[in-house]
Amino acid sequence: MRGSGLPGPRKLAFMTKFEQPPVLLTGMSGGGLSSASKVLEDKGYYVAHNLPPQIIVELLQLCAQEDSPVSKVAVVTDVRTRMFPGSLIETIDKLTELGMAPTVLFMDARDDVLIRRFDSVRRTHPLQESETLKHGIRREREVIAPVRARADIIIDTTNLSVHDLRRAIEASFGSMDAEKQHVTVESFGFKHGSPRDADLIVDVRFLPNPYWVPELRAYRGTDKPVSDYVLGQPSAGEFIDKFMEMFDSMVAGYRHEGKDFITVGVGCTGGHHRSVAVSEEITRRLNAAGKVKASVLHRDIARD
């Protein structure tokens, strides 16, 4: 997952009764919108589905009233709302003008994965018409590209299980601080593919691999024996010190470009040991510094 790649309008201070900014949940059909909406419901959000753009503004104004029973709200909207007047971009701009700037969460996946998901449930893509599923997905990407460019958080569900998706969303929405940027530090294994939605990827395969130490192989980077082994390497400490210095110089630039959500991918071979230990330490240091709110996600820690 990552913040938007293009600068958007600076969000106004959130002045309504909401505990957190409203969430606009959108993305590719088959990208995981239904699963994501269930996670938000479990986290106490009132979730509305497939509202026309102009109704989204009316709903959030209603929810923002003092006598409203809703304190956290999310709206799920996809390409099917294109038949109604207005656009989601216009809706985002209008909400921002009203002081209710939403957090835009965009769900995505590789085309071949989307095709497999549609085939498994025998569904027709909403833009497929009389052509192939592949053509429908390509049309949808073109239609929804402007919204993806404005997204605050993009979660690529290509390699995520339902449980991984829950952890990814909770990493971003677990304890949001409106005054700070949000950084997700995601460990992963290169053999499972690097995360396509990361803003920054670092490779820690230069560190000695605990996998080749028999007494450490069964442990993970969250376990003290492995963590001590990895972080005890002189090269690990030097690397993390330099990374923190580099990242600190980047944070102000990210904020200037309107990026309030940042994902840092930390990769090793399998995503079990080195990347996990380093991700935990980077997250600890970021939170200790206090400039951003950081959370950690271990994508491949349970994989073989």
HSE, CB side, 13 Å, CA atoms: give it for residue 170: 15
Residue pair 73/60 in contact by the 8 Å Cβ criterion: yes
Spatial neighbors of 171 by CB under 8 A, at least 6 apart, are 184, 295, 296, 297
Q: Which residue has the tokens 């996990």?
A: 276
Spatial neighbors of 250 by CB under 8 A, at least 6 apart, are 200
Alpha-helix runs per DSSP H in the chain: 33-42, 53-63, 88-97, 111-121, 133-150, 162-173, 224-231, 234-256, 274-289
Of 265, 68, 290, residue with least CA distance to 171: 265
Residue 292 in marked binding region:
no
In sign, the C-alpha dihedral spanning 32, 38, 43, 45 is positive
Most distant pair of Cα atoms in the chain: their distance: 63
Residue 77 in marked binding region:
no
CA 278/CA 296 separation, integer angstroms: 10
CA 92/CA 150 separation, integer angstroms: 9
The phi, psi pair for 177, rounded to 5°, reads -120, 115
Q: How many residues does the chain have?
A: 304
Residue 78 in marked binding region:
yes
DSSP-derived pairing of the beta strands 292-298 and 46-49:
unpaired
Residue 81 in marked binding region:
yes
Annotated binding-site positions: 78-81
Annotated binding-site residues for GTP read: 78-81
